[in-house]
Chains A and B, each alone.
Chain A
Amino acid sequence: MIATQLETSWQRWLIRIAVFLAMLTLTVPGVWVVLTAFRPNIEVMARPAIWIPQDWTLDNFRRLFGFSSAQQGLPVARYFLNSLVISLTSTVVAVLIGMAGGYAFARYRFKGKATLFLAFMLSRTVPGVALSLPLFIIWARLGLIDTSVGLIIVYLAINIPFTIWLTDGFFRQIPVDLSEAAQIDGCTAWQAFWKVEFPLARSGLASAAIFAFLTSWNEYALASQLTRTTASKTMPVGLMDFTAQFTVDWTGMSAMAVLIIIPALVLTFIVQKHLIAGLTFGGVK
């Protein structure tokens, strides 16, 4: 058995340190926000900076949910639900549509293929400000303002080019022979797809799903425009409620941010499973 280690243990440690430093850089700014959610406002502006909160408190969360006399709470649960419904729905549908489109581009040769592909890509070059007002006007006529459906459709348009390209790339990596082999064995093309190609593309579909979800979950600009009330307002829009004209309520905003981050983290962790490289092409040589 040939050793698959190309590096010495010294190199391995170097790699581990590099990864640690990289992770640190990635997390520190974010961790600051999380810590701020648990500290009183006066600590935020301290000089020299107080890194670990001296005065842990859950007050910020209490204020958020309205258990304090100072203000009315925010309908956080409602925002959370809206975000969840809108993000999950648009993700699932975008992945399905993307899968269909990606398969078409990966496996078929047809007239207008290059043009169509480019058209999908170019649909994303339209700047937001050019799109947002006419979109608002049309959605208003259709009665889609302040509805989850309205926002879901818009997020689909944002995510579909994405999911198509990603799945296209992943389907291309799967040898066509596999599907053909299955068809020789008696499956129809449809069955061959679901039995053979779909499982192998899982890692691609999982990454497409994660991106689509995170894009929708964190999107602010269009959401703030197309939503009005708790009927459809999402969490990022709720986040901006904390920036009043004069003071940015840092601790309140951080508390809200924690609520936005945690579900995203949890979901990502769960979907990770399908990113695992299970690919062995041992079956076809």
Chain B
Amino acid sequence: MLGSFLCKALLASCAALTMIVSASAQEFDYGSFPGYTLRVKLVGGTQYEKLYTRIPEWEARTGAKVEIVSSKQLFDLDREVKQDIATGQITWCVGSNHTSFAPQYGGLYVDLKDYIPAEELAKYVPGTLASSEVEGRLVQLPRVTDVSNLYYRKDLYEDSARQEAYRAKFGAELAPPKTYDELKQQIVFFADPPNLFGTAFTGKDEGMSGRFMEILRANGGDLFDNNWNPTFNSPEGVAALQWFVDIYRAGAVPAGTVNYTFDEIGQAMAAGQLAIDLDWPGFAGFYSDPASSKIADHLGFALSPVGSAGVRGGWSGSHSFSVTEACDNKKAAASFAVFLTDDESELMEAKAGNLPTRSATYDEVIKYFNENGKTALAEMFVIWEASLADARTPPLIPQWIEVSNVLWPQLQAAILGEKTPQEALDQAAAEARTILEDAGVL
């Protein structure tokens, strides 16, 4: 009897001990750096800054102080970082980064796998973490992810008159589109200029290149092949570009859309002028807030459509934090980066409608929204989480921005009817080839 009691006691304490040991092995050690000043450059702007209110907490935990050396919007920050590289003045430790920009910076940032234990890294969404690598090095720790999905006007879709008309015209039920062809159909169907348009798309800069890339990939094509030959002027590419040409020519999108950036589309959707919007999660908060949006009560969410190859384009990118090679206290810097992307930080970001980068946060935030009566947002997160599986970034090469800059003017030329899609894409491919040859990639 005593023996079995002892055995049980031993087992129990063994179990307890393992639990304690594993619990502390689970918890990341933020370290202690009293008297150290960590210099950081963070991305500024209303949607990014709430997270920084947590900084004093990290300071209290580690005894270090954080000095925000620079706070700018992403493009200006990128320019600043490039200047710092050019002058060799890397006097800071942590910098805000983005998967689209990261490949340009060469050896500026360290491989975080050397500074963060694997168990901690395992808590992040694997696909997101994989996108954060450049040439196998984890140069950034992702903070929030953007994947495009569909926002749509529930009131328009549930309107019986429109449902009738749609059924009569296409012989199918009016429901959020599953394919790009359906999407095009519905965009043209809903359009009633000048008060209502089917949708709008970012018609310039990397936005245009990205939207094109999405449909290209959904059709089974890609921008480059394995040897970096440009392949976007393939039939899949032409079909993708034709998609834009068709809806523009049909007048189903505002004529000015070739000049729109994300914020103009956001404003137009919130003003009730668009029926559908393929856009980023960051807009969810904006669209569902009655103080800033007219469509707050009629907002629906759906997964982005698939293309002719049956896959999703899944254009995505992540904002992130990176640690510089020149940093004199990389452990502190890594600790800071982990802190700003830990469970609590991620939950804070998710509550604002951003897609978190830690797997566990999804369940937490869905639960939070359901408990707080924001079932619409909870529903959104379920859908958004499903789309992570298809998330892919633009090509992670330093020349991506440069290639994009020769691509989007050609895309615009085709959309505006100055050239045929094949001509436009061939021209862009030729220019892209020159860029890659100059860079020694081809």
Contacts and interface: CB of A to CB of B under 8 A. Distances in A.
Interface residues of B, number: 40
A243 B282 CA distance: 14
Most buried by B among A42, A72, A243, A247: A247
Contacts of A240: 72-73, 76
Given A42-B294, A243-B73, A133 B83 contact: yes
Contact of A244 (B53, B73, B271, B292): B73
A38 to B, nearest CB: 15
A242 B87 contact: no
Interface in A55-76: 70-72
Contacts of A249: 46
Interface string B37-79: 0000000111111101100000000000000111111101001
Given A45-B270, A245-B262, A140 B89 contact: yes
A246 B280 contact: yes
30 contacts: A42-B291, A45-B268, A45-B270, A45-B271, A47-B195, A47-B271, A47-B273, A71-B46, A72-B53, A136-B83, A140-B89, A224-B72, A225-B79, A228-B69, A228-B70, A228-B80, A229-B70, A240-B73, A241-B44, A241-B45, A241-B71, A241-B73, A245-B45, A246-B262, A246-B283, A247-B262, A247-B263, A247-B266, A247-B267, A248-B263
A186 B165 CA distance: 98
Nearest to B283: A246
Contacts of B79: 225
A41 interface: yes
Interface string A20-63: 00000000000000000000111011110000000000000000
Interface in B260-280: 262-263, 266-268, 270-271, 273, 280
Nearest to A42: B292
Contacts of B50: 70-72
B286 interface: yes
Interface of B: 44-50, 52-53, 68-74, 76, 79-80, 83, 86-87, 89, 195, 262-263, 266-268, 270-271, 273, 280, 282-283, 286, 291-294
B158 to A, nearest CB: 23
Given A224-B76, A240-B73, A240-B76, A41 B49 contact: no
Contacts, number: 92
Contacts of A46: 271
A137 interface: yes
Closest 6 CB pairs of A and B: A244-B45, A45-B271, A248-B263, A228-B70, A246-B262, A247-B263
A252 interface: yes
Contact of A137 (B71, B74, B87, B273): B87
Interface of A: 40-42, 44-47, 70-72, 133, 136-137, 140-141, 224-225, 228-229, 240-250, 252
Nearest to A137: B87
Contacts of B69: 228-229
A248 B286 CA distance: 12
Contacts of A229: 68-71
Contacts of B70: 228-229
Given A228-B80, A243-B45, 20 more contacts: A40-B292, A42-B270, A45-B268, A45-B271, A47-B271, A133-B83, A133-B86, A229-B69, A240-B76, A244-B44, A245-B73, A245-B74, A246-B47, A246-B263, A247-B46, A247-B263, A247-B266, A247-B282, A247-B283, A248-B263
A240 B294 CA distance: 26
Contacts of A141: 87
Contacts of B80: 225, 228
A131 to B, nearest CB: 13
A246 B267 contact: no
A143 to B, nearest CB: 11
Given A133-B86, A245-B262, A45 B47 contact: no
A42 B47 contact: no
Contacts of B271: 45-47
